[in-house]
A = this chain, B = another copy of it.
Amino acid sequence: MNQPVHLLGISNAIVDVLAHIEVDFLVKIRAVPGSMTLIDKQRAREIYSMMGPAMEMSGGSVANTIAGFANLGGSAAYIGRVKADQLGAIFNHDMRSLGVDIRLKPGPDGAPTARSHILISPDGQRTMQTYLGACLELSVDDITAESVGAPKAVLIEGYVWDLPEGPALTQKAVDIAATNGTTVVLSLSDSFCVERHRDSFEHAIRNGVDIVVADEDEVNALLQTESFADTLKSLHDYDNLFAITRSEKGSVIVHGDERFVQEATAVDEVIDTTGAGDAYTAGFLYGWVNDYPLAECAKIGTFCGTTVIQQVGARIEPGLLDDYPFE
């Protein structure tokens, strides 16, 4: 029997391989600066062999949110596929060390644990070349009443739709959630991901997803709108709660006719914007599962996002809310 938790994450379990690059490296590997590209094993080997010395650390968008949520003091569980290799052990260790309940056993065979080659340009921009490896083997059979349990909320990332059984396993998770009164949260992941799966996302959002977390570009891509004003108009047509981050413009919570704007916090210096959205989601959902009012959820999310952009690295450190001015 799994321990009961507040939040369950279902996502791609990825180890980040970070390296600084020279400007011409992206030209050499024909990568669009700032993009996330899915690559196969052969290409992964090629890019890695061309890269300089790297630093390895656990990553993945929703995995970062789950780690952050646990570090805020929330109880969390995680479903994602790693192989029983050293990178898989690193990923599971890092999650477990934060108290996250890992629901799947690492696979003994198959593709190695996923890694994302994160190439950091001299100006701090990050270009990602992601080899999904073991993630691609996440299957419908991994999603069961037992593995999902009855969390208060389940958070699924859009990137899961890139997996062969992604749409089907998500549907199964949504169905299980419905029987338990679990809130279903979808993170739209990135605007290219939205382009790849727009119809399927639209269907899911209309059928079982309760909350959508996304940045402005992702929502615009979903609704095929040109401006945020148009986006806000289009959202009238949805029953879902949307939590939309807008960088220095803060965030907007939209729920039916309800609108709530949370201003961004001014910071002296932005060190690294990586993971700002994931941290916002962690804070927002920490408020949500603790039944705080929406305005407070957005405020905690902003507090977490603001903290993360002032540090190097994507993940929230423990004890962050020690400094949070709860009212």
- In A41-70, the 8 Å CB interface with B consists of 48-49, 51-58, 67
- In A89-133, the 8 Å CB interface with B consists of 90, 93-98, 112
For this complex, 17 residue pairs linking A to B, each with C-beta atoms less than 8 Å apart, are A48-B93, A49-B96, A49-B97, A51-B93, A51-B97, A52-B94, A52-B98, A52-B318, A53-B57, A53-B67, A53-B94, A54-B57, A55-B56, A56-B56, A56-B57, A85-B85, A86-B112
Shortest A172–chain B CB gap in Å is: 30
Contact of A58 among B51, B53, B85, B97 (CB under 8 A): B53
A98: chain B residues at CB < 8 Å are: 52-53
- In A119-173, the 8 Å CB interface with B consists of none
Interface residues as binary, A296-327 with B (CB distance below 8 Å gives 1, 0 otherwise): 00000000000000000001001000000000
A67: chain B residues at CB < 8 Å are: 53
Question: How many Å lie between the Cα of A315 and that of B54 in the bound state?
Answer: 11
Given contacts A52-B98, A55-B56, A55-B57, 5 further A-B contacts (CB under 8 A): A48-B93, A49-B97, A53-B67, A53-B95, A55-B55
Question: How many Å lie between the Cα of A54 and that of B59 in the bound state?
Answer: 11
Closest to A57 in B: B55
Chain A residues within 8 Å of chain B by Cβ, number = 24
Shortest A189–chain B CB gap in Å is: 22
Closest to A96 in B: B49
Determine if A52 and B87 form an interchain contact, defined as CB atoms under 8 angstroms apart: no
Closest to A85 in B: B86
Question: How many Å lie between the Cα of A90 and that of B96 in the bound state?
Answer: 23
Residue in A49, A67, A86, A96 whose Cβ sees the most chain B Cβ within 10 Å: A86
Closest to A20 in B: B317
Contact of A94 among B54, B95, B97 (CB under 8 A): B54
